[in-house]
Structure 1
Amino acid sequence: MTEGAPVPAAKTPSRRRFLLSGAGLAGALLVGWGVAPPRQRLEGSAPLVLGDGTVALNGWVAIAPDNTVSIVVPRAEMGQGVHTALPLLVAEELDVPLAAVRIVQAPLDRIYANVAVMRENLPFHPDDAGYTRAAAQWALAKVGRELGINLTGGSSSIKDAWLPMREAGATARGLLIAAAARLWKVAPASVRTADGYCFHDGSGRRASFGSLAPAAAHETPYEVPLKDRHQFRLIGRSTPRRDARIKADGTARFGIDARPEGMVYAALRMAPMIGGSIGGINPASVLALPGVLSVIDFTGALEGQTGAQAGVAVVARTYWQATQAAAALPIRWLPGPHETLSTARLFGELQAALDGDDGHVYHDRGDVTAIAAGARSVRAEYRAPLLAHAAMEPVNCTAQVDGGKVRLWLSTQAPSIAVDIAARVGGVDAADVELHEHLLGGGFGRRLEGDMVAQAVAIARQCQGRPVQVIWSREDDIRHDVYRPAALARFVATLDGAGTILSWDCRAASGALGHQFVRRNLGLPVAGPDKTTVEGVYDMQYEIPHQRIAHVAVDTPVPLGNWRSVGHSQNAFFKESFVDEMAHAGGLDPVALRRAMLLKHPRELAVLNAAVARAGQPPAGRAHGVALHTSFGSVVAQVAEVSVEQGEIRVHRVVCAIDCGLVVTPNLVAQQMESAVLFGLSAALGGEITIKDGQVEQGNFNDYPVLRMHQAPIVETVIGMSAEPPEGAGEPGVPPIAPAVANAVFKLTGQRLRSLPLRLGPQGPVPGK
């Protein structure tokens, strides 16, 4: 079960759907679990079997006779470094060198479920405390353990693994110490460990973990406490990435690199209009082309499943043959119910919702209607567009349906969801789905979805047992994505004569992507508030006495999905831009205003001060814009150094300060900040999906641009030292960059850019601003 090896399924899809639907995503499950202890996360439902004399000491650790240590990694490696950071947690507590560690991708078992991402999925304000919040989080953690949904997202990998993987390492070390003590007939307390060996200093004896493992597997573990942070030898130090060499020399294997024996290729033609259908096809015109094996209308096989858009696959011996035949295939498309859908209509519906509905109030403190005498009111409205993911590795999935089994070769962020969908479409039990997980060439939330799995399995069912690889073109990828929602936000705030913000009223409108995700991938109806729509606004930690944050969910036929940093990505732009507007209206420096609103939040204040101090003063002709945002448990402040050159916005340097709790691998945190800044900056300066006549207009990087190398700024990362448990690092660097750039542009030009992507008006720079 090394990287890319088959992962057996452990659950039937029906059980997970029953639990979720019966729980309403939380509450009803508590009736039966209220007195039950939390599900343990040390031993899986079946022992690890790795062969070659390797002995499993628990569900996470196995040791071979040659002292090689196999460590189970439960999350997908998509460039964020989990194949480096997560094994390090076990190695630290087990006392083994990283050079001895071998990675095993986790099987589908409840102990590897992502509990943290479930636990923090309730809209509590970070300043709220007490029994209600603690009880709700405890309850959702139990839900997460019971459901066993394994996914990589929400910047939760290290946060979720922090205790169970360290405990697995410490428990395994306790077993080895007990085995050594019994062998040497000494007290366990007299045995120490280092570098994969047990030592007894009194007698000079030593034994390798590999030689002790068979006996250790039958011992009762000697209780070894988790190390104090001052004892760490690995945690907190920069560590070379395990995947750096294979990605540099081309031996890394991604989903698109799968090559099972006898594999054929499928190229797709999907309905160009949202909600479109097939009116007719003429397969005979392409079946005679070289290499073409079949033409498959897979629409009917997907009814009621994820990825149910109408489509046709051309299966051929090579991908080139498949794509050429698919392009030549005559298809008559029917427009469906959304042929008049357009970007203007989408935003018109959002505007109407803001004008006519108070929405759901997520946070209400004080009384925003009680305006003090002499207070000044400031209003503004902001807009963010639909965005695509555009990961470097195109969407793909390889599937085989043969002999009552389904086999998948896949890059996925959600293996348990992929297996359930494959079982449903393939007409088998989840236990009969075999998953081979591969590295991801970018995820960003796109590979949480199962549409590519549904399509590949549906096509493979008609390929007589041959494996078939479905590869989307870049145009397919951008025109058939699950998009970050378009959103509008309206702010009304009041200031006193000294520029202090007295009240803050925000109402936003967008689609509810969480509802769509659950319906699409879990097959469940869901309603009610969706935290993703307002995260980053309702839970801001600025000390404003009167606050109200509400959201109106607007149904949309546009497929919506999780985009890196999710709701924070647009809400940070709204919030931090409006804070700057308030500073300008009150005649205050934007940094000084933020500092004044963080007197009871020293963590946020320290991060803001660190970024500003490192940034210094901008060179002549440039300006600094500042933004501060908390997401996924981490605080990030960014200072963007910007110029305007011939009417174009140019970002030269970004200082990014972060407090993400105790840092496991500082170099990986810095890499994530650099990645997040460039990803967010691509969207801020050019990212926009538009719709006309029911069709997405963009199709490739010529009209959906990403940042080019010559446009990339220098990114300097300042990492705060903290003793708190680790928090997120993969996404928190994305949200602040757009408002930081917009705020710098205002200083340079006097133009307040309230719409993404950021584009200067025709008047150009305003001298002296």
Structure 2
Amino acid sequence: MTITRRGFLKLSTKLAAASGASLIVPVSGCAAKPNAFAQISSASYQDEGFIQILATGEVHFVLPRDEMGQGIYHGLTTLIAEELAIAPERINVHFAPVDKTYTNTGYNMQGTWGSSSIREHYLPLRQAAANARETILKAASTQLSTLLNTDPSIHRNALTLNNGFVVFQDNKYPMGDFIQAAAQLTPVDNAPLKAASEFKHIGKHSKRIDITAKVTGQASYGIDLGENVPNLHRATVIHGPSIDSTLVDFDASKALALEGVTDVVAVPTGLAIVAKHYWQVQQAIPLIEINWSQGDLATFNSNELPQHLTQKLSQESGVEAFKQGGGSDALNDDEYQALNHHSATYFAPYLAHMTMEPMNCIVHINDEQCDIWVGTQAPEFARNGVADLLDLDRDKVSLHNQFMGGGFGRRVGVDYVLEAAHIARQTNKPIQLIWSRTEDLHNDYYRPPALIQYQAKVDDNGYLKVLSGRRAGPNIFPYVLPEALPAVLPAFVPSGVSAWLAKRGGDVINNWKNETSSVEGLFEDYLPEHCEIRNVTYDPGIRTGYWRGVGHSLSGFFKETFIDELAYQAAHDPIEFRLKNLKDEGLKQVLSIAAKQANWPTKPASTSPESSSRGKRALGVAVHRSLKTAVAQIADVSVEADKIIVHSVTCVIDCGVAINPDVIKAQMEGSIIFGMSAALNSQVKIAQGQITQTNFHDYPIMRYPQAPQINVYIVPSTKPPTGVGEPGVPPIAAAIGNAIYAATGKRLRSLPLALNESA
């Protein structure tokens, strides 16, 4: 069941009235409690709610982050379960409403991204549950002392909480018996957390608590909710044939004559068709005559991108993103003139997200209220954007978040939510907007393309002395800023002012200031004495967005392929060269473990592509730290008749303490498959401003027959947890490409990897 803040309070009041009391415990460091929480029964603890324990013994948990398949529904619940000493499957989990209480503290807004959920909530949620546990035991010590007439009183330390019972000596008492007394106490603050040696759920193998609902069809996704809203109409939006087309006029008379079709209306992004059923919407589309005007992208072709980016680098020096020592000037220092010099250029194209569930949303406007049902990574963006669009106070717009059929960063964008609101307002009907797969592919926030020119100097002992990189491509933040600003600006700031600030901010990013996500991961892992990275903005006007791994998803390929080239040029084994030059001990550790687990050969490398030691099958390696997580991958690859076959991937991850090892392994497996799609199959193809692909048949992703055996090893750790949703993506393309070179002598420097495009 999904519950809103209003519904949560209503449920709390009813249950409190029925059972006598409930306990709601806050997470420390959160914002002031929402006003609505003050309406909870006086018999219950009143505070901003993450944990609610009823007198029946039921435990309710409001999940502050959004579930898109990454396992956070299970992961964060595990933290609560651990400190409350109760099985995770006994906890009732509810998606959070939009409220500052549920802000992602790492980003100061409510959203799920950056592999941050476990990292940001590990201690706060455990602390909240520990405080609840200690408050219950404090109440129980007093209540049991009276009940059992003990003298002296029972000390709290004589009690434990286990599986929903308070345990005293050999007796067990239902936890719910003490909730009314606990609700009257001032909650314990900063209660002691369990030691790692006491963990019963953290770090243990367990079945995900959402898996049964998903495989039995009980889990609610945004696209599933169509029958729950009376008089709901379905809609889709026809967008222009070119990326920047605009609607001129249309004739929908034939479409409107079809049974069930009720409206055809213009919206800022295209033309909306509304009918009682989605099939009727699809039947109407070919009957509408539409005139579009073509924009500046009408002559744009994606196959010309490498040429445009190279030209841009030749014309501009760009913005300094990082400089250490003498930077690029050290390449020409007399001290390094005799050292081995190497340069190479790499390219990666636009990529779409291709989530299994296409974009969809339900909007119901009723008087001065609006309800939104949607699966989104950015509920605050969506709620505030709709409130601004409809000129409603934000507290008049309720967003009901759902499970997502994939996110990968695409559902940070809320364009489809705003489209649904436009249609609902114009037609005065509750609307379920569903994009077709083609519309989904043609109207993405794409991973930006990039081209980088690397240069380096390596001494005779195989030590990297100078690293220079110049990257060209679009930035992301200028496209995200218009939706993000309303989430952080006060409600009284007019939407026009917000739009103006977003435009100015985007201009600053593109022209004067470097965007971190454009250059992250290009240099940090090795960082020689002299290093310089510069960023040159080239943006043809195709909107970009966050894609799984963000900048690291490109830089992992760029950097690790270049490092591999340096290793061979220096006649060093690729792993030996990395171990010699890595500055990060965590990366050295995962790399060493991966080499052992994959049976990496110890024979020295050769600089010659024609080396007879190379066969048609070999191992390739890559290592990368992203989002504070260290990952090493070794791919076993063969080339048969110019066909690339990945037989297996060895993956080692150090993500701090492993909350759910099975979830971590699943995320590494999924990340590797996702990254392999980009490495071997995927790219957005644009001709004359039009995306030429329409579905998975011509925008291929990894299929089962292509999937390799994947062996994941988790480094044991007691350090705080880091992220796992994205760090498995960055190394895989380089690991495969480096294996291809080791097997064939062909160095591939562009994605997707293709043997007919070698350097």
Please classify the TM superposition score into its range, dividing by the shorter chain length.
0.7 to 0.9
Instruction: Give CA deviations for 1:676-708 in whole Å, capped at 9, x if unaligned.
Output: 000000111011112221112222111110011
1:609 to 561, 580, 592: 592
Shift of 1:190: 3.2
Contact residue 626 and residue 740 of structure 1 kept, 8 A:
yes
- 2:548 counterpart residue number: 564
Shift of 1:337: 2.7
- 1:457 counterpart residue number: 421
For 1:353, what is the secondary structure of its paired residue? helix
Contact residue 489 and residue 508 of structure 1 kept, 8 A:
yes
1:312 to 265, 271, 275: 271
One-letter amino acid of the structure 1 residue matched with residue 121 of structure 2? A
Contact residue 54 and residue 63 of structure 1 kept, 8 A:
no
Shift of 1:213: 1.5
- 2:380 counterpart residue number: 416
- 2:95 counterpart residue number: 105
Contact residue 232 and residue 432 of structure 2 kept, 8 A:
yes
**Alpha-carbon distance between aligned partners in 2 of 1:355 and 1:200, rounded to the nearest angstrom:** 76
**Alpha-carbon distance between aligned partners in 1 of 2:351 and 2:627, rounded to the nearest angstrom:** 21
**Alpha-carbon distance between aligned partners in 1 of 2:734 and 2:218, rounded to the nearest angstrom:** 39
Q: TM-score, normalised by structure 1?
A: 0.86
- 1:529 counterpart residue number: 514
**Alpha-carbon distance between aligned partners in 2 of 1:381 and 1:162, rounded to the nearest angstrom:** 41
- 1:74 counterpart residue number: 64
Contact residue 9 and residue 433 of structure 1 kept, 8 A:
no
For 2:426, what is the secondary structure of its paired residue? coil
Contact residue 89 and residue 209 of structure 2 kept, 8 A:
no
- 1:750 counterpart residue number: 745
**Does the alignment pair 1:115 with 2:105?**
yes
Shift of 1:616: 1.3
**Alpha-carbon distance between aligned partners in 2 of 1:42 and 1:519, rounded to the nearest angstrom:** 25
Identity percentage of aligned residues? 36
Contact residue 624 and residue 641 of structure 1 kept, 8 A:
yes
- 1:151 counterpart residue number: 111
How do 1:201-600 and structure 2 match up within 5 A?
201=169, 206-222=172-188, 224-259=191-226, 260-299=229-268, 310-367=269-326, 368-370=328-330, 371=333, 372-464=336-428, 466-522=429-485, 523=499, 524-525=502-503, 526=505, 527=508, 528-538=513-523, 540-598=524-582
Contact residue 41 and residue 164 of structure 1 kept, 8 A:
no
Contact residue 374 and residue 497 of structure 1 kept, 8 A:
no
* RMSD between aligned residues: 2.3
**Alpha-carbon distance between aligned partners in 2 of 1:461 and 1:543, rounded to the nearest angstrom:** 54
One-letter amino acid of the structure 1 residue matched with residue 246 of structure 2? S
Contact residue 9 and residue 108 of structure 1 kept, 8 A:
no
**Alpha-carbon distance between aligned partners in 2 of 1:61 and 1:698, rounded to the nearest angstrom:** 47
Contact residue 177 and residue 222 of structure 1 kept, 8 A:
no
Contact residue 40 and residue 111 of structure 1 kept, 8 A:
no
Contact residue 353 and residue 552 of structure 1 kept, 8 A:
yes
One-letter amino acid of the structure 2 residue matched with residue 478 of structure 1? L
How many residues of Structure 1 are paired with residues of Structure 2 in the alignment? Answer: 690
**Alpha-carbon distance between aligned partners in 2 of 1:334 and 1:622, rounded to the nearest angstrom:** 52
One-letter amino acid of the structure 2 residue matched with residue 294 of structure 1? D
Alignment CA distance shift 1:340-1:621 (3 Å): closer
**Alpha-carbon distance between aligned partners in 2 of 1:449 and 1:568, rounded to the nearest angstrom:** 20
**Does the alignment pair 1:41 with 2:23?**
no
One-letter amino acid of the structure 2 residue matched with residue 382 of structure 1? Y
For 1:462, what is the secondary structure of its paired residue? helix
**Alpha-carbon distance between aligned partners in 2 of 1:716 and 1:48, rounded to the nearest angstrom:** 51
For 1:731, what is the secondary structure of its paired residue? coil
For 1:555, what is the secondary structure of its paired residue? coil
Contact residue 313 and residue 326 of structure 1 kept, 8 A:
no
**Alpha-carbon distance between aligned partners in 1 of 2:104 and 2:263, rounded to the nearest angstrom:** 40
Contact residue 65 and residue 210 of structure 1 kept, 8 A:
yes
- 1:64 counterpart residue number: 54
Shift of 1:720: 0.4
**Alpha-carbon distance between aligned partners in 2 of 1:42 and 1:434, rounded to the nearest angstrom:** 19
- 1:303 counterpart residue number: none
For 1:502, what is the secondary structure of its paired residue? strand
- 1:15 counterpart residue number: none
**Alpha-carbon distance between aligned partners in 2 of 1:454 and 1:7, rounded to the nearest angstrom:** 22
For 1:369, what is the secondary structure of its paired residue? helix
Shift of 1:297: 0.6
**Alpha-carbon distance between aligned partners in 2 of 1:320 and 1:50, rounded to the nearest angstrom:** 45
For 1:461, what is the secondary structure of its paired residue? helix
Shift of 1:611: 1.0
One-letter amino acid of the structure 1 residue matched with residue 403 of structure 2? L
Structure 1 segments of 4 or more deviating over 6 A?
48-51, 53-57
**Alpha-carbon distance between aligned partners in 1 of 2:627 and 2:7, rounded to the nearest angstrom:** 30
- 2:142 counterpart residue number: 182
One-letter amino acid of the structure 2 residue matched with residue 483 of structure 1? Y
**Does the alignment pair 1:714 with 2:709?**
yes
Instruction: Give CA deviations for 1:291-340 in whole Å, capped at 9, x if unaligned.
Output: 111101112xxxxxxxxxx3111101110110110232110111023212
**Alpha-carbon distance between aligned partners in 2 of 1:49 and 1:352, rounded to the nearest angstrom:** 63
- 2:159 counterpart residue number: 191
Instruction: Give CA deviations for 1:251-306 in whole Å, capped at 9, x if unaligned.
Output: 2221111122221111221112122111210021211012111101112xxxxxxx
Alignment CA distance shift 1:620-1:247 (3 Å): farther
**Alpha-carbon distance between aligned partners in 2 of 1:509 and 1:543, rounded to the nearest angstrom:** 20
Residue segments in structure 2 that go unaligned for 5+ positions in a row: 9-26, 146-152, 486-498, 602-613
Shift of 1:197: 2.2
Instruction: Give CA deviations for 1:428-481 in whole Å, capped at 9, x if unaligned.
Output: 1111111121110000000011101100000011232x3211111111011111
Contact residue 54 and residue 62 of structure 1 kept, 8 A:
no
- 1:35 counterpart residue number: none
For 1:730, what is the secondary structure of its paired residue? coil
Shift of 1:198: 2.2
Contact residue 8 and residue 431 of structure 1 kept, 8 A:
no
**Does the alignment pair 1:656 with 2:646?**
no
**Alpha-carbon distance between aligned partners in 2 of 1:513 and 1:421, rounded to the nearest angstrom:** 19
Instruction: Give CA deviations for 1:526-577 in whole Å, capped at 9, x if unaligned.
Output: 1222110011114x22252211112112233101000000000011100000
**Alpha-carbon distance between aligned partners in 2 of 1:738 and 1:588, rounded to the nearest angstrom:** 21
Alignment CA distance shift 1:570-1:8 (3 Å): farther
Contact residue 622 and residue 735 of structure 2 kept, 8 A:
yes
471-480 vs 99-108, which moves further: 99-108
Alignment CA distance shift 1:665-1:50 (3 Å): farther
Q: TM-score, normalised by structure 2?
A: 0.87
**Alpha-carbon distance between aligned partners in 1 of 2:44 and 2:241, rounded to the nearest angstrom:** 52
**Does the alignment pair 1:673 with 2:668?**
yes
**Alpha-carbon distance between aligned partners in 2 of 1:379 and 1:9, rounded to the nearest angstrom:** 60
**Alpha-carbon distance between aligned partners in 2 of 1:71 and 1:39, rounded to the nearest angstrom:** 15
**Alpha-carbon distance between aligned partners in 1 of 2:444 and 2:661, rounded to the nearest angstrom:** 33
**Alpha-carbon distance between aligned partners in 2 of 1:699 and 1:735, rounded to the nearest angstrom:** 27
Shift of 1:375: 1.1
